Chain A
Amino acid sequence: MDKTINDVKTSFHSDLKSCKTADDLEQVRIKYLGRKGKLTELFNQFASLSNKEKPKYGKTLNILKSDLNSSYNDKLNSLGIGISEAKDSKDFSLPGYALPKGNIHPLEHVTDEIKSIFKSIGFSVAYGPEIDDDYHNFEALNVPKHHPARDMQDTFFIDPNTVLRTHTSNVQIHLMENQDPPLRHICCGRVFRNEAVSYKSFCLFHQVEGLVINESSSFAEMKGTLEYFAKEMFGKDTKMRFRPSYFPFTEPSAEVDIWNEKLNQWMEILGCGMVNPNVLENVGYDSERYQGFAFGMGIERIAMIKYGIRDIRLFYQNDKRFLEQF
């Protein structure tokens, strides 16, 4: 058997070498690779071998088969026959298969990007309820009832004591209630505001908020963290400024603007501040020992800056022609 295989191999290669025309080659193909060719003959012999011998020769035969085929194809190509045949049958200028185009929503893109920036510097991600009680959405965050700061967030009520959360800060309260410092988390999700629907405001939007609590995190560290974020998000030459502001849950508080070269103006991207000691006391942390910072941003706002979107309603209309662009 070994000899037969070797003979077939040697004679095939010498025959192939002497081929000059397509006809010559076709003769070789019929002789060796055809339906009644030598290769088939070898496989027929193989079938009658004992089970003990089969594995050994099976392998050898398979190698021979692929060797013969590829050598034949190489010769076919070198004679220029294969290519000219293909040219006759295929138009390679036709468009590729029309496969369906899927998209991730632009808000998801931005959320993912923000999440991954903060995850890269050790922040975990937390989630929480969209309907919550007044305590977790307001009071624990140092916004008592009948405080003018309530006017800053127009609220949808489910009942007088239950609200559609106006920010994801309620998650921070739940987090702190269940966990001792140190904390290094971002919270993200959907929030609601009872505002008139227009090109610049909708009844809901999405937020990412961050919270860092330990014994020494400072305003300077907050600045560093948020500068890192802004540069990762908007490019390393991003010009930004921190200006004093007011949020009941942080003190000192700041708003952060980045410079928009095209519009020649500052654009607000987030709010931040050192966590108000009252908030820490409300969740049972010792405010003499622990301190930290928090920040929050609207995802829609950042997406609008990033993609140059002028109407916030486009995000929730789910027009294919809009979604297809992301």
Chain B
Amino acid sequence: MKVSIPWLKRFVNFNHSASDLADILTMLGFESEVVTDFSSLKNIVVGEVESAKKHPNADKLKFCIVNDGEKLHEVICGAPNVASGQKIVFAKVGAVLPGDFKIGKAKIRGIESNGMICSERELGISEEHDGIMVLDSSLENGTNIADIFGPIYDAIDIDITPDKAFALSHRGIAREIAAKLNKKLKNPLNSKRVIPDAKKKVKVVLDKKGGCPRYIAGIVRGVKVGPSPQWLLDYLKSAGQKSINNLVDISNFMLLEIGQPTHIFDLDKLSKEAIEVKWAKKGEKFEALDDETYTLDSDHLVITDSVNTVALAGIIGGKDSAVSEKTTNVLIESAYFDPIVIRKGSKKLNLLSEASRRFERGADPAAANDAFYMIVRLMQEIAGGELSSIVTDECTFDLTPRKIVLSNKKLSQYAGFNISANKVENILSGLHIDCKSRGEGLISMDIADILSDTNKLQSMRIRTEFRPFMRNIVDHLYQIDKITRKDASSYRHRIRFGSKETLVELANTLKKQHSQDLPSEFIVKSTGKKNTNNRDTQKWVCTIPSFRGDLVNESDLIEEVLRCYGYDNIDASYSFSSQMQYVEDEERPISKLKQYLSSVGFQQCYNNSLQEKSQIKHFGVKPVSVMNPSSDKMNALRTSLHQGLLNTLDFNYKNGAQNVLIYEQGTVFKNNGKKLEDIEQKNAFSCLVHGDFTAPNVHFNPIEGNFFLLKGLAEGIFNNLLKIKIKFIRESHPYCDTFYHIIDSKKSVVGSVGIINKELLDKMDISYKTDVCIMDIDTYRFKECSGYNIKAEDIILYPMVNRDLNFILDHDIELAEVCTAMKNVNQALLKEVIPVDIFESKELKNKKSVLFKLSFQDPKKTLEDNQVNSIITEIISLISKKFDAKLRDQ
């Protein structure tokens, strides 16, 4: 909201600069920025155009001589309205305009220009840029522009949070400044009743279903529509509001002055001098002031003249009933509409207005009356009309002020320190909250006696006696486990908000169910009338002004006190109030996994969870769609991390990086049905490799980043990080031709490795040059398996005996099978069998020659040669038979 500083000064006296004021407001909870601060603009003065001739080399430019009171300047100006004799705003060479726009000498179409004649936009006053500003001819040349414009146009911009409806006006902001600076808030406009000389009254009918709790209407006749007076124009302009005509300007002025939206109808365009507030007919068409036609719904509240819809309540007026230049008689509306009705209505049409913004946040129901009479008085003054109907004020809103009790104990408990009672009272009264201090005493209550007698229950004061009494009972029952937490919570809610009848009913229920569970007596705090200085028992009964609809609970008042006290004045406390606890973080093992992968050369990725549905479908799982996507490229949630990793490969490949080793952890989603419970949200972990693992260098040839890299990593991860043995079991997969499950010793799947097939890569249009391999790790199993499961084993001191065996085998035989077969011959002594060399050649045809390294060790003694030899013999005969193999070199 753009706030005019001169306008604020109507309400409160202060001399702060725009930027100081912005700081004060920011620290009060109103984030502010300076829009225009003329005192910061230098070298900008009143000038006079002594002559303005056509630029010799350009039709649309003028060559001007400007007198700045000291000397003459040659200036090129492009504005169509520049003319000799005008007083204008002249920015000299060296001036800096808002937006850090520096004025220097410049050659324009061959002629040097020394300075600039400014428009309103260039000075930050408004968006007006059709021509230069023409000033009052009585101004003296050379006068500093800050002295003229500062008092009229200085402004700041405030970001007002949705809870602070009371601050959506100059009076609202001024009230905050006055409170902070300890100044009085002035009342510049007279809102006293105007007594009309009339007997007729506008008939106002409000819909019984609510929506409009207050509607004030009255008629002013004999107005003359025309331009607004200068003071009104200045205020509106400085707050960023365009002037329309005097009537509309008055209404807009009132909105910005005290935050009350009003509407002015052309009386002669209404069918009857009557107002009916009711719900729109579904599908009803409504042509609004903004020249748009809206289709309404049955929950839109409308204003009708009992025949036609003339306004969309609290949002926008109708075109047909709008004020025009010919208007002479008007009907003034000043109302209070229900925030939810206005919000729903404006959201549905996607139609926000200054009025709806205030109503949906909660306007001041009492201000409707003030605004009405202020408008009547302004119309008399400016447009010359007279109030000529009895004023109708239909009001179903309970205007009795709300009362909230603030306890000093609670305040200091919340704050963590003590604020003096005087300070609290000062702050509250500065905010126009009336507070009366009260003490408190302790009384004992005989429970059985009270509960047995409904009259006694009825006679207790609800806030000070009955509620504390009931709360004690509920707390007691919960503490001794007679009622569940859920019940206790719902009872407390009833106690907090319920009427006396609700409380009596609850007391009887609890008595019936728990009479033997209750002690005989409670000591209950009760508010007395005496003042006390005891901080622990001091309370204030606060009367909330009508414009602070946001203050409902004690905590709302605590916020007000601390906010005005200043958060920066609160000393931080560095001692903890909590008890010690075990620090849990289930993700701890996964961060080890990430460290491991990154330390061997992988890069961690964060990909978007929102992906394109047409691409997700390649992954074969039904995705969860977004109802309101921001683009078609992000209209559903990923079902697999592979998608993001493949796109990352593609992106990097196209940017020149062919060797890609990446991984990602994140949530993937699966759509199993319509309900929230049917949406599977799973934490996933995937790696992808493509290209080389190590780059070519002077020491060794590149190592391929392929399936075997991932297989080795899987072994490293599970054996080293988790100390669990894994196996690879071949499986089929929708988009991997080569695919293995990784299973642990209990046969449960802990991950997988595979090679993505070309069909998927081509369908997704991924650039690649080598195999694209992926590995998944089941993070749930990973977390389960991690922990203190390392058990140190004794080192075997007896030597290891190594033997080599070279077999010629069929090309298609899988060596893992051969190794397992060998090991099974003597699992106790044969520690390890690994293939160390594979040789294939033309002579060998469909065979391969494989060198196996066998390692033997006996944990209890040194192995004898003959023992090893007999195992070797057994292995040779088994392998030769089982795999039709031949020992080489024999």
Contact = CB atoms under 8 A, between A and B. Distances in A.
Given A190-B666, A320-B660, A219 B29 contact: no
B811 interface: no
B580 interface: yes
Contact of A97 (B555, B584, B697, B862): B697
B699 A243 contact: no
B360 interface: yes
Given A244-B29, A284-B486, A320-B603, A220 B655 contact: no
Nearest to B667: A130
B694 A99 contact: yes
A306 interface: no
B488 interface: yes
B572 A224 contact: yes
A148 B360 contact: yes
A201 B634 CA distance: 15
B598 A122 contact: no
Interface string A103-114: 111011000100
A203 B567 contact: no
Contacts of A56: none
Interface stretch (B41-49, B77-85, B329-337, B620-628): B620-628
Nearest to A275: B555
B563 interface: yes
B448 interface: no
A133 to B, nearest CB: 5
B572 A157 contact: no
B574 interface: yes
B576 interface: yes
Contact of B475 (A151, A203, A220, A286): A286
A158 B594 CA distance: 31
B499 interface: no
Interface string B11-39: 00000000000000011110100000000
Contact of A227 (B31, B161, B572): B572
Interface stretch (A23-31, A63-71, A78-86, A311-319): A311-319
A146 B344 CA distance: 6
B584 A244 contact: no
Interface string B627-655: 11110001001000000000010011001
A6 to B, nearest CB: 25
A318 B652 contact: yes
Contacts of A1: none
Contacts of A51: 862
Given A131-B681, A242-B567, A274-B555, A190 B667 contact: yes
Given A190-B666, A243-B29, A104 B598 contact: yes
Interface residues on B, range: 35 or more
Contacts of A99: 601, 694
A100 interface: yes
B562 interface: yes
Interface in A254-311: 254, 274, 276-278, 281, 283-286, 288-289, 291
B608 interface: yes
Nearest to A282: B489
B597 A148 contact: no
Contacts of B485: 180, 284
B825 interface: no
Contact of B609 (A102, A184, A204, A242): A204
B20 to A, nearest CB: 15
B559 to A, nearest CB: 4
Contact of B598 (A103, A148, A195, A283): A103
Given A102-B599, A124-B583, A157-B626, A318 B486 contact: no
A46 interface: no
B416 A220 contact: yes
A158 B625 contact: yes
Interface stretch (B51-59, B142-150, B585-593, B721-729): B585-593
Given A146-B343, A190-B666, A286-B492, A100 B572 contact: no
B575 interface: yes
Given A162-B676, A190-B609, A245 B29 contact: yes
B698 interface: yes
A122 B581 contact: yes
B168 to A, nearest CB: 11
Contact of A119 (B556, B572, B573, B583): B583
A237 to B, nearest CB: 16
A323 to B, nearest CB: 5
Chain A interface main SS type: mixed
A247 to B, nearest CB: 9
A284 B489 CA distance: 5
Given A108-B604, A220-B573, A102 B597 contact: yes
Interface in A136-159: 146-149, 151-152, 156-159
B413 A216 contact: yes
A34 interface: no
Contact of A203 (B417, B605, B608, B676): B608
Contacts of B574: 224, 227-228
A215 B652 CA distance: 53
Contacts of A242: 567-568, 570
A148 B162 contact: yes
B652 to A, nearest CB: 5
A36 interface: no
Contacts of A126: 584
Contacts, number: 284
B866 interface: no
B704 to A, nearest CB: 12
A22 interface: no
A132 interface: yes
A104 B594 contact: yes
Interface in B649-674: 651-652, 655, 657, 659-662, 666-667, 669, 674
A307 to B, nearest CB: 14
A217 interface: yes
Interface in A228-253: 228, 241-246, 248, 251-253
B780 interface: no
Nearest to B485: A284
B571 A220 contact: yes
B27 A243 contact: yes
Contacts of A127: 586-587
Contacts of A131: 624, 637, 669, 676, 679, 681
Contacts of A130: 609, 667, 669, 681
B558 interface: yes
B603 A323 contact: yes
Contacts of A251: 555-556, 558-559
B855 interface: no
A156 B629 contact: yes
B582 to A, nearest CB: 7
Contacts of A244: 27-29, 559, 562-563, 567
A164 interface: yes
A252 B679 contact: no
B162 A158 contact: no
Interface string A190-230: 10101111000001100000001011111111011001100
B414 interface: yes
B585 A315 contact: no
A121 interface: yes
A190 B669 CA distance: 14
A20 interface: no
Contacts of A214: 577-579
A285 B598 contact: no
A314 B31 CA distance: 29
15 contacts: A97-B700, A99-B601, A102-B661, A127-B587, A148-B361, A190-B609, A203-B608, A218-B417, A221-B575, A223-B567, A227-B572, A228-B574, A252-B559, A284-B489, A318-B651
Closest 7 CB pairs of A and B: A100-B601, A218-B416, A220-B416, A244-B29, A284-B489, A246-B161, A252-B559
Given A101-B601, A204-B609, 5 more contacts: A184-B578, A218-B415, A244-B27, A281-B496, A317-B651
